[in-house]
Amino acid sequence: MSEIKFGVLGQYFHCPVKGDFEYAAHALILVDQQGTIVSVLTDSDTQYHAQIEALSAHQQLIELSPTQYLMPGMVDLHVHAPQFPQAGKGLDLPLYDWLQDYTFPLEAKFEDMVFAKQIYPQLVQSLLANGTTSAVYFATIHKDTSVELARECLRQGQRGYIGKVNMDEPTQCPPFYIEPSTETALKETECFIQQVLAIEGNEEQLVSPVITPRFVPSCTAELLQGLGELVQQYQCHVQTHCSESDWARDHSQAQYGKTDVEIYNDFGLMTSKTILAHSIFLTPSDHQLIKSTGASIAHCPLSNMYFANAAMQTREILDNDLKCGLGSDLAGAPIPSIFHTCLDAVNHSRVREDGTSTYLPANERGEQGSRISFLEAYWLATVGGGQAIDAKVGLFQPGFEFDALVIDTAIADSNIFILEEMDSAKDKLEKIICLNSRQNIRKVWVKGQLVVDK
Ligand SMILES: Nc1nc2[nH]cnc2c(=O)[nH]1
């Protein structure tokens, strides 16, 4: 057995089965020097008491209090790192105008390393403090500051998937924020991939490069073609926006006569490591193509309420077993917490189910049977996200990486109120999902490394 680094003794929640949960009251989770879970013991295991004694004697035992819960780390499949300064403002415009008026001018500033170094450390710190142990980031078109974001994730110990953004279509990109040429974009992307893979200290690939065409409107066909070739060469993850709004969907139809999924597939960008943010206007054949390629969807429920013009087919995506997780879409939505995103996902589905027009009878107002549950949302945030990034995270099982949080429900300024005699294990988990805030998160580990300790 590999050498044990530490053990955590206490209660935990996780969701091995979509829509269900497991609770263990007094588990002992053993983590090795590589940050991998070696075993999960309960008091019926013969080794349980001896292990506790041995770990305790060597100060390797972390014992949780009765109000503390171990939970898997959260996975954010869609974050725009440079938009952090924009979080909480400027959500008054539709997507196209929002990009042109607010977002592109802000992202253009990330050519400046001094500016980037002012923002990126704060963002990574904020996401970790909110329990995001893995994040899939869009950076900007600038290679050097995008590599700096990868370095920052590594410094702070976050599992990071980082993309240098690609956008070269002159009719869609402002002159101050566009690649110098298609050829340069491709060269810089290749160089970015190589530099991230070679960052000192990244031998275990805690941070990975992601090939990142922004979305169909902002990329020429030549750029999409070249990026598809890089995908074949480097077998990297891919991330992009997919059929996010009426405008984006119509633009793709007008230009190619195809859906975004079909366009990405034609250019070799649909693989089992592709993450499609939003994916609102999917056709039944898009569903099939996503499933057959093994690509994943990043559901961003709050941002969809601002930009999508329609509701997400979350119920169908879960029922069809498409790979799917959650994304905050910072700053198309303002909140850097995947716990909050779980609540948004449930709310989003409930509004879809109920409908909105008070002039229609209740049975004609919404889309019946389209809600998702809190447990399904939490599964998306942990297991679903882990599958999308192709990492063994999201569960407390031997062989999984120890990416975990300690939530304390009894801190002085907690919104979570648990009444032992009234709350079942499921009630407690739902309360944590709904009401957890940054203050409740006392410890965060990524790959067995303690990165937040309060
Ligand atoms: N939400 C969102 N959608 C996009 N589509 C293209 N760029 C963006 C972006 O920055 N945010």
| Domains defined along the chain, listed by start | 4-72+395-453 (2.30.40.10), 74-388 (3.20.20.140)
Q: What is the mean pLDDT of residues 314-336?
A: 98
Residue 405 phi/psi, 5° resolution? -130, 150
Tokens, residue 260: 């975004």
Ligand 1 pocket list (CB less than 6 A): 80, 95, 99, 103, 214-215, 241, 244, 303, 307, 329, 332
Q: Which residues have CB under 8 Å from 328's CB, separation 6+?
A: 76, 78, 79, 132, 300, 302, 335, 336, 337, 338, 340, 341
How many Å lie between the centroid of ligand 1 and the Cα of residue 100?
11
Per residue in 44-65, pLDDT tens? 999 999 999 999 999 999 999 9
Atom in ligand 1 nearest the alpha carbon of residue 215:
6
**Angle between helices 113-129 and 143-156 in degrees, nearest 10:** 40
Per residue in 74-91, pLDDT tens? 999 999 999 999 999 999
Integer Cα distance of 341 and 300 in angstroms: 7
How many Å lie between the centroid of ligand 1 and the Cα of residue 434?
27
342 pLDDT higher than 60: yes
Instruction: Pick the residue whose CA is nearest to atom 4 on ligand 1.
Output: 241
pLDDT of residue 1: 52
pLDDT of residue 438: 97
Per residue in 96-144, pLDDT tens? 999 999 999 999 999 999 999 999 999 999 999 999 999 999 999 999 9
Atom in ligand 1 nearest the alpha carbon of residue 80:
10
407 pLDDT higher than 90: yes
Instruction: Pick the residue whose CA is nearest to atom 7 on ligand 1.
Output: 214
How many Å lie between the centroid of ligand 1 and the Cα of residue 62?
42
Proportion of the chain above pLDDT 70, given as a percent: 100
Q: What is the mean pLDDT of the chain?
A: 97
Per residue in 277-304, pLDDT tens? 999 999 999 999 999 999 999 999 999 9
**From 241, 278, 306, mutation site for ligand 1 pocket: most ligand atoms within 8 A of C-beta:** 241
Name the CA radius of gyration of the chain, rounded. 22
How many Å lie between the centroid of ligand 1 and the Cα of residue 197?
26
411 pLDDT higher than 70: yes
CA-wise closest residue to 78 among 324, 435, 313, 248: 324
2 pLDDT higher than 90: no
Residue 74 phi/psi, 5° resolution? -90, 145
How many Å lie between the centroid of ligand 1 and the Cα of residue 213?
11
Q: Which residues have CB under 8 Å from 125's CB, separation 6+?
A: 156
Q: What is the mean pLDDT of residues 216-245?
A: 98
pLDDT of residue 394: 98
pLDDT of residue 58: 97
CA-wise closest residue to 73 among 128, 16, 36, 17: 128
* Overall pTM > 0.90: yes
Write the ipTM: 0.99
**From 106, 215, 281, mutation site for ligand 1 pocket: most ligand atoms within 8 A of C-beta:** 215
291 in Cβ contact with 265 (< 8 Å): no
Q: What is the mean pLDDT of residues 155-165?
A: 98
Proportion of the chain above pLDDT 90, given as a percent: 99
How many Å lie between the centroid of ligand 1 and the Cα of residue 149?
19
pLDDT of residue 309: 87
User: 94-102: long-range contacts (C-beta < 8 A, 24 or more apart)?
Assistant: 94/245, 94/247, 94/307, 95/244, 95/245, 95/247, 95/248, 95/307, 96/247, 98/307, 98/332, 100/174
Q: What angle do CA 83, 219, 106 make, to 5 degrees?
A: 20
How many Å lie between the centroid of ligand 1 and the Cα of residue 299?
13
Is 443 in a helix, a strand, or coil? strand
CA-wise closest residue to 237 among 259, 202, 279, 207: 207
Integer Cα distance of 190 and 170 in angstroms: 22
